[in-house]
Amino acid sequence: MNELNLFHGPNAGYALELYERYLQDPDSVDPDTRALFARWSPTEDGAKPGANTESTLYGINFKPGANTEPTLYGLDVTRIVAAARLIRYIRELGHLDAHINPLNSEPPGDPGLRLDTHGLTEADLAALPAHIVRGPLVAGAHNALEGVNKLREVYSGSIGYETDHIQAFEERAWIREAAEDRRFFYGFDAEHKQDLLERLTEVEMFERFLHQTFVGQKRFSLEGCDLLILMLDSIIRNAATSGTHEVVIGMAHRGRLNVLAHIIGQDYKTIMSLFNASNRDDGASAGSKGTLGWTGDVKYHLGARRAYRESGVEQMPLTLAPNPSHLEYVNPVVVGRARAAQDQRNRIGQLQQDKHASLPILMHGDAAFPGQGVVAETLNLSNLKGYSVGGAIHIIINNQIGFTTEPCDSRSTLYASDLAKGFEIPIFHVNADDVEACIAVARMAHAYREKFRKDVLIDLVGYRRWGHNEGDEPAFTQPLLYDRITNHPTVREQWARKLQREGAATEAEANQITANIRERLQQALREAEGKLPEFIERTKDKPIAMPPVPNPPPVLIDHLQELNESLLARPKGFIPNQKLDRMLQRRLTTFEQGGPIDWGHAEALAFATILARGTPIRLTGQDSERGTFSQRHLVLHDIVTGEGYIPHQALPQSQASFAIYDSPLSENAVLGFEYGYSMHAPNTLVLWEAQFGDFANGAQVFIDQFIASGRAKWDQTPSLVLLLPNGYEGQGPEHSSGRLERFLQLSAADNIRVVNCTTAAQYFHLLRRHAFTLQDIPRPLIVMTPKSLLRHPLASSTLKELTNGQFFPVLPPPDSPPAQTVNRLILCSGKVYIDLISSGELNDVEGITVARIEELYPFPIQELKALLATFTNLHEIVWLQEEPRNMGGWCYMNPRLREILETAIPVYYCGRPESASPAEGSLSQHIVEQARILHEAVHGVFEDEKMLSLY
């Protein structure tokens, strides 16, 4: 037998790598292997190993040569090891030599990819057998030199593969084998190549036609990365044929109009109507409706949805999510939508997930991907049980520039994609001028995601044909780059010439394709003349205001008692923490006694009634399973096994799924995820809880751009609930305020609901009311939740208040003196009411009473008018709040109170003075200030003009 055939063994490369490691550091290998190699290596005195020893390691027979160098059956072991090292470097670092830049700049390279670094020549490689290369590339190679050259074609051609950061060997091996056997370079026959030419012509002509027809209008052209559309074609087609039920897409503005036209299938005339609207002088734009409240959005922010019915697929929804100018912020929204499409919420009890049901595709900018933190936060969600979606396909639309900023000034890494390495995501860099390579990596990315259910990233390296927008002059800041771009042929032109050389298409055929598409665009332009944009057409007669929110039917006491008992039942063999369980079991006695029912108990009962009606629930947030203040405990843990038990998932009366997850330490991506989930699951009660309400501003972009304005801009109707612990208790500026004032400032056109409850019963009814109206009157719900009031007796409620009551936007004084004797009405909201009535300030005081505003937006006009009408001798109204004057509810309430007052009753402010910081950092200072405002609200004389609001 020819001993060189032993190189066919699967362990050959491993053995050679071990020998290389041994030469560098003998202690890096195990003792047996070290003893073997010691017989091969030079001794300390420089002598060579003997000639009569033969050993076997990992299936390779090692036989020393004569008296010079170690040999392997006549071959120089040093050369074999050097060749093996070079081969490994090419597989691992070949991307550094890959020609992925269509503008022909030299790749960075690496010394490890050069022969001389390893002491090799081409002659050395030619003298070695091809088998040391290993893998499918060995076939047809006569020696190692031919094998190495084939390797370079794969790893340093138009595609660069980065996999060395992935710990799982199976994944690395799959990618290596797929790359080397070129399994995804299939189907490129003459007919398919002609189809690709037509598709490329559609993409290019669309951009050119808009550029020439609507001169100077922004569209954020895709030109330079045109192959994105063909890559999406491939991914979506493969997703559909593999059984995926839905694809959700997210992207910034670059190329969005092309995706709308050629992926989502929005017709050309609809898109052109958006450009026509921008030129109109009658005030119409992509959604402007004047005083009706619909604002619409610019054309390159809009989303759309269609049913995919190609490749034999009956119907697969495609959704392109709308996105503001905040670039990467759509990422978690899309992933949240995808998760909602996977969760089987109609299953009773524990939620079931089908990760094959949906596929999220996210397009990124090369400057935004490393530059915006929401990207890393979203990637961090990828393997968390409450957020995983079985992998997203990421595509960086790499223009090699961010607005006017060079890559060296926008990131500290070589590649725009390097952030993904920290999450062990495989990265495929590809030249945006290579049609077949781009389609192959798109196929490969989808196949990887299907097999491993993990994220995968394609770095589509192209360029930007024009400036940041079409009215921008890029040569001002990048003259050399844009000199190259101006003279660079488009990918369509290159592909057409390639097909002509191959005889797959003639120049006349290519020109005819161009002419046909140009005529389609001209016809669309004629049809778009005078056509209103789709958003205006859809909303022009649609009132933005919604009807009042009704309360659901009351809960029967027997039903509530059954639910309470079921929640406190424990499965056989489950051993909970005894201290905690004793505390929870007291709820049986509390219920039997008719109360008092505290906040956590009321919430648990509300969730149970909602599940019994068939409405699924999803609750997430930092520490939300237990609750920041140890008030919830919806997940119990066995003290012996550590296994969790969720009573709401075992509820016999439940008709829907219940899911609760502790979130990662993030407000930003997590809130975006829940917004997307809520949008995609409109019949689900989705709640996100901040650890403290103060931290919600870590997600301010989602609050401003999506939650508050998404309906006016995009006609989206989420029903997401935000639970924001709020209240001044001496914990400092960052643990006091949920920033009520910011939500009130954002309130307009019936966009959100803002509530500040003071009792457990009010919270109970609020949750039920919101769940009851999820589909009919959906709106985001902002709830300022308590901290110290969670167990406060005055914030607890009776059983009767839960079963016979409803949610009241305004709570009148519970024990008011005769209405005709009241001359000062103190209005307040939230915890400060409990502080006031428990402070003793109202003892033995006549003519003063206190009412609570529980729902601040929509402003409770009728309820307040009814309340004020009962006080016939009212002299003044005092608005009491804990927050500084420039925060809290004052600036919102004051003008609205004045509008509804029929007489000139003054409205005074009582609270902390204006401040840049929400609260005191000292507990003692807080106590003094809190006592002052409570005393002043009752005993203060509001005659000083400075006290009188002139707002």
Residues 232-261 have pLDDT tens digits of 999 999 999 999 999 999 999 999 999 999
Measured distance CA(314)–CA(943) in Å, rounded: 74
Is the C-alpha dihedral spanning 865, 870, 872, 876 positive or negative?
negative
Instruction: Report residue 858 as tokens.
Output: 């929509």
The set of residues, in sequence order, having a beta carbon less than 8 Å from that of 411 and lying 6+ positions away, is: 367, 370, 371, 418
> Alpha carbon 715 to chain centroid distance?
20
- What type of residue sits at position 826? I
> What is the DSSP annotation of 242-257?
TT--EEEEE--STTHH
* Rounded-to-integer distance, Cα 183 and Cα 440, Å: 8
Three-state DSSP class for residue 447: helix
**Cβ-contact 218, 472 below 8 angstroms:** no
Find tokens 């033969």 and name the residue.
54
Amino acid at 217: Q
| CA–CA gap between residue 445 and residue 331 (Å, rounded) | 18
3-state helix, strand, coil in the chain (%, to 5): 45, 15, 40
Look up residue 811 and give its two tokens.
Answer: 């709570």
* Residue 143 and residue 130 in contact, taking contact as beta carbons nearer than 8 Å: yes
pLDDT tens by residue, 423-444: 999 999 999 999 999 999 999 9
* Closest CA relative to residue 845, chosen from 822, 867, 829, 878: 822
Is there a contact between 879 and 907 (Cβ–Cβ < 8 Å)?
A: yes
Which of these, 944, 788, 782, 768, lies nearest to 855 by C-alpha position?
782
Tell me which residue of 451, 430, 418, 392 sits closest to 173, measured CA to CA. 451
> Would you say the C-alpha torsion 94, 95, 101, 107 has a positive or negative sign?
negative
Exposure string over 730-761, b if 16+ CB within 10 A, otherwise e: bbbeebbbbbbbbbbebbebbbbbbbbbbbbb
Cα gap 897→828, rounded to integer Å: 12
Amino acid at 29: V
Tokens 């002659």 correspond to: 123
Whose CA is closest to 341, among 237, 246, 450? 246
The beta strands (E) that lie in 617-756 are given as: 617-621, 636-637, 644-645, 657-662, 685-689, 721-725, 753-755
Strand pairing report for 316-320 and 304-308: antiparallel
Closest CA relative to residue 602, chosen from 571, 567, 553 = 567
DSSP symbol at 901 = -
Side chain identity, residue 395: I
Q: Which two tokens stand for residue 389?
A: 């979606």
Contacts of 114 (CB under 8 A, 6+ apart): none
| Both structure tokens of 690 | 């901040």
Task: Say if CB 144 and CB 83 are below 8 A apart.
Answer: yes
CB atoms within 10 A of CB 815: 8
Of the candidates 789, 852, 830, 331, the one whose C-alpha atom is nearest the C-alpha of residue 598 is 789
DSSP 182-225: TTT-----HHHHHHHHHHHHHHHHHHHHHHHHSTT------TT-
For residues 363 and 394, give the distance between their C-alpha atoms in angstroms, rounded to a whole number: 6
- pLDDT for the residue 279: 60
The length of the chain in residues reads: 951
Query: Which residues, in sequence order, are CB contacts of 768 under 8 Å at separation 6+?
Result: 551, 552, 555, 606, 609, 610, 807
Angle 581-587-590 (CA atoms, 0-180°, nearest 5)? Answer: 145
Q: At what angle do helices 491-502 and 190-213 cross, to 10 degrees?
A: 150
Q: Specify the long-range contacts of residues 444-449, CB closer than 8 Å, at least 24 apart.
A: 444/175, 444/178, 444/179, 444/184, 445/235, 445/393, 446/234, 446/235, 446/238, 446/239, 446/242, 446/393, 447/178, 447/184, 447/238, 448/171, 448/174, 448/175, 449/359, 449/390, 449/391, 449/392, 449/393
Tokens in use for 41?
Answer: 């290596």
CA-to-CA separations, 489 to 399, 401, 463, in angstroms, rounded: 16, 19, 12
Closest CA to 533 of 207, 267, 751: 267
Residue 484's SS3 state is helix
**How far is Cα 852 from Cα 874, in angstroms, rounded to an integer?**
17
Amino acid in position 520: R
Torsion of CA 353, 354, 359, 360, to 10 degrees: 0
Q: Which two tokens stand for residue 844?
A: 């033995």
pLDDT of residue 284: 45
Question: Burial letters for 351-378: b for 16+ Cβ neighbours within 10 Å, e otherwise?
Answer: bebeeebbbbbbbbbbbbbbbbebbbbb
| pLDDT value at residue 283 | 44
Can you give the pTM of this predicted structure? Answer: 0.91
Q: Residue 818, preceding bond cis, omega within 30 degrees?
A: no
Distance CA 522, CA 209 (A): 9
How many CB atoms are located within 10 Å of the residue 502 CB?
Answer: 10
Helix locations, 632-715, DSSP H: 668-680, 700-701, 710-714
Residues 6+ apart with CB under 8 A from 336: 672, 673, 674, 675, 676, 677, 678, 679, 680
3-state secondary structure at position 651: coil
| Measured distance CA(241)–CA(244) in Å, rounded | 7
Q: pLDDT averaged over consecutive 10-residue blocks of the chain (951 residues)?
A: 37 63 78 71 45 44 48 69 93 96 92 95 93 86 94 96 96 96 95 96 96 90 96 96 95 94 93 78 45 77 88 86 94 97 85 92 96 96 96 97 91 96 98 98 98 98 90 89 93 97 94 96 91 79 80 93 95 92 92 93 97 96 93 94 94 94 95 96 96 92 94 91 95 94 94 96 96 91 95 95 93 86 95 95 92 96 94 94 96 94 89 95 95 94 54 32
* 746 close to 704: Cβ distance less than 8 angstroms: yes
Nearest-angstrom CA–CA distance, 95 and 431: 12
